[in-house]
């Protein structure tokens, strides 16, 4: 009963925050965004139930058991130990003797903090994390919405905030929820015009991603550098490709810096980690296993040979004939629909539509982030169940590309229709003019009696 009260309180406060912050939105998006918040709450409860009763606790078991000592320390003396637990979460030096911090240890510390402040209610923790994830997606949506200025906002809301598998696997005490929160804050903090408060938000987002899923910072930094460079130039890379190249060069510099901060995810170390993941997948097997890459290839060049297949796997699989259970069926239907949507949009807009979409700086961010992150995730994953979770931070960027292509495709189609109509009207006027001229000539040749 106590857990029900705490969870209900978190739900009520979270929904009140959503209602208050969405009050000034236009009606076209307000209902959908509020619906996304409700969807996050329902899926948080569903995820907590399934992890406890169907799929087994998995990571939740490690988070709960690992956070128990930290929770007990805060119960003894919160003033003394709370800063130490925060330090563990942020991978800072601490007096607890935990100096080998990693993403799992950061999640364990986060779990301890949430257990303390939410009165040890895991149902409430799942709902709270779902709200954080929701606001992260909303921040990402708002960032691209303001730059794209689409004729209709509905497709973008659906693509970035309402895809079922994306919402489900990021609503709860999972790394993907923290990653989506950080990525949203990071993107929103860098939107124009950049201000001091937004830079602080961007820094907080970068820290959140860095301590939970640091490998996501590498592709985002490349895309963000190109995005900011193109945006500051006020010209598309079609007219000035030098800005895109300079942005990518700056992104490469950031990657080198990140490699020094997170050496386990540096480009040189990535190939070896990917090969180890592929070898582990081969040994584990299972119904959802698929082969990816060559576990013997431990060089970057050897892994990049499989980059196109890895990217395709992240963005389009599992195919319908690869489905093994209900969750993979949902994921397959989503990715198949999204793939067909992209192909249809490209077919409608053609090369002109693609160039127009890429002329928008924020789409360059989405493309670079999707390509690099999608390739890395595809190379290091050999299980469809794991893939459905790991690609969650990529899906909003990929969906944004799809929506932009669809919008440009519609514009191209409308432009061709108008051009055809105008050409037909000019041809008709010309034909009438010629007929009128011939009639006047004939009348002038009739003899007068």
Residue 296 CA from chain centroid, whole number: 31
For residue 383, give its domain range.
215-436
pLDDT in the model for residue 448: 46
Q: How many other C-beta atoms can be found within 10 angstroms of the C-beta atom of residue 127?
A: 28
Q: Are residues 239 and 176 in the same domain?
A: no
Q: Quick check: is 365 in a domain?
A: yes
Over residues 214-229, the pLDDT tens digits come to: 999 999 999 998 888 8
Taking alpha carbons only, the member of 156, 118, 122 closest to residue 137 is 156
Q: Quick check: is 441 in a domain?
A: no
pLDDT at 396 over 90: yes
Greatest mean pLDDT range, 128-142, 144-158, 237-251, 257-271: 128-142
Q: Are residues 260 and 402 in the same domain?
A: yes
pLDDT in the model for residue 395: 96
* Boundary-marking domain end, from 166, 196, 212: 212
Q: Quick check: is 346 in a domain?
A: yes
Q: Are residues 121 and 177 in the same domain?
A: yes
Task: Give alpha helix (H) positions in 288-383.
Answer: 300-304, 307-316, 326-358, 361-379
pLDDT in the model for residue 150: 87
Mean pLDDT along residues 339-359: 88
pLDDT in the model for residue 255: 83
User: Look-up: residue for tokens 């990693």?
Assistant: 102
Q: Are residues 207 and 228 in the same domain?
A: no
Number of domains into which the chain is organized = 2
pLDDT band at 304 (very low <50, low <70, confident <90, very high): confident
pLDDT in the model for residue 242: 67
pLDDT in the model for residue 427: 60
pLDDT band at 434 (very low <50, low <70, confident <90, very high): low
Q: Quick check: is 444 in a domain?
A: no
Q: Are residues 199 and 165 in the same domain?
A: yes
pLDDT in the model for residue 51: 84
Taking alpha carbons only, the member of 34, 375, 365 closest to residue 187 is 365
pLDDT in the model for residue 449: 45
Q: Quick check: is 413 in a domain?
A: yes
User: Look-up: residue for tokens 């190249």?
Assistant: 245
Q: In whole angstroms, what is the distance from residue 362 CA to residue 299 CA?
A: 32
Mean pLDDT along residues 402-422: 71
pLDDT at 231 over 70: yes
Q: Quick check: is 147 in a domain?
A: yes
Q: Are residues 287 and 355 in the same domain?
A: yes
pLDDT band at 431 (very low <50, low <70, confident <90, very high): low
Q: How many other C-beta atoms can be found within 10 angstroms of the C-beta atom of residue 377?
A: 26
Q: Are residues 259 and 306 in the same domain?
A: yes
Taking alpha carbons only, the member of 291, 337, 286, 326 closest to residue 310 is 291
Q: Quick check: is 161 in a domain?
A: yes
Q: Are residues 268 and 332 in the same domain?
A: yes
**Residue scoring higher pLDDT (213 or 56):** 213
Q: In whole angstroms, what is the distance from residue 316 CA to residue 333 CA?
A: 10
pLDDT in the model for residue 397: 96
pTM of the model: 0.88
**Torsion angles phi and psi, residue 391, rounded to 5:** -85, 0
Q: Are residues 206 and 220 in the same domain?
A: no
Residues 6+ apart with CB under 8 A from 42: none
Q: Are residues 144 and 230 in the same domain?
A: no
pLDDT at 418 over 60: no
DSSP string, 350-369: HHHHHHHHHTSHHHHHHHHH
Over residues 129-184, the pLDDT tens digits come to: 999 999 999 999 999 998 888 888 999 999 999 999 999 999 999 999 999 999 99
Q: Are residues 178 and 250 in the same domain?
A: no
Q: Are residues 335 and 397 in the same domain?
A: yes
Q: In whole angstroms, what is the distance from residue 179 CA to residue 26 CA?
A: 28
Q: Is 400 in contact with 366 (CB distance < 8 Å)?
A: yes
């Amino acid at each position: 009963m106590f857990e029900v009260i705490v969870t209900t309180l978190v739900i009520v406060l979270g929904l009140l925050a959503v209602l208050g912050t969405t009050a000034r939105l236009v009606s076209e998006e307000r209902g959908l965004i509020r619906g996304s918040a409700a969807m996050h709450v329902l899926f948080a409860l569903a995820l907590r139930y399934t992890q406890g009763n169907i799929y087994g606790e998995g990571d939740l078991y490690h988070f709960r058991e690992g956070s128990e000592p930290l929770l007990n320390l805060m119960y003894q003396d919160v003033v003394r130990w709370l800063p130490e637990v925060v330090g563990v979460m942020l991978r800072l030096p601490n007096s607890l003797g935990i100096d080998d911090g990693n993403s799992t240890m950061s999640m364990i510390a986060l779990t301890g903090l949430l257990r303390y402040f939410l009165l040890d209610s895991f149902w409430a923790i799942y709902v709270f994390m779902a709200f954080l994830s929701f606001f992260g997606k909303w921040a990402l949506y708002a960032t691209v919405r303001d730059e794209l200025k689409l004729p209709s906002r509905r497709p973008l809301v659906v693509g970035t905030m309402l895809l079922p598998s994306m919402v489900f696997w990021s609503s709860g005490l999972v790394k993907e929820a923290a990653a989506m929160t950080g990525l949203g804050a990071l993107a929103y903090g860098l939107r124009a015009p950049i201000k001091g408060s937004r830079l602080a938000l961007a820094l907080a987002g970068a820290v959140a991603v860095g301590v939970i899923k640091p490998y996501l910072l590498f592709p985002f930094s490349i895309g963000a550098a190109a995005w900011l460079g193109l945006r500051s130039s006020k010209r598309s890379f079609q007219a000035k490709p030098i800005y895109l190249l300079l942005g990518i060069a700056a992104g490469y510099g950031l990657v080198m810096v990140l490699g020094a901060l997170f050496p386990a995810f540096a480009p040189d170390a990535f190939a070896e980690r990917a090969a180890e993941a592929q070898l582990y997948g081969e040994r584990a097997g299972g119904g959802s296993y698929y082969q990816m890459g060559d576990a013997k290839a431990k060089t970057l060049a050897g892994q990049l040979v499989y980059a196109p297949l890895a990217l395709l796997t992240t963005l389009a699989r599992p195919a319908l004939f690869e489905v093994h259970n209900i969750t993979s069926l949902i994921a397959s239907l989503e990715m198949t629909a999204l793939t067909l949507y992209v192909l249809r949009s490209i077919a409608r807009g053609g090369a002109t539509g693609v160039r127009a979409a890429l002329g928008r700086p924020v789409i360059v961010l989405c493309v670079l982030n999707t390509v690099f992150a999608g390739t890395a995730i595809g190379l290091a994953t050999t299980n469809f169940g794991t893939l459905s979770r790991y690609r969650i931070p990529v899906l909003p960027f990929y969906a944004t590309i799809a929506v932009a292509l669809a919008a440009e495709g519609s514009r191209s189609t409308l432009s061709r229709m108008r051009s055809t109509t105008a050409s037909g009207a000019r041809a008709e006027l010309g034909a009438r003019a010629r007929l009128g001229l011939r009639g006047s000539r004939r009348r002038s040749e009739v003899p007068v009696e």
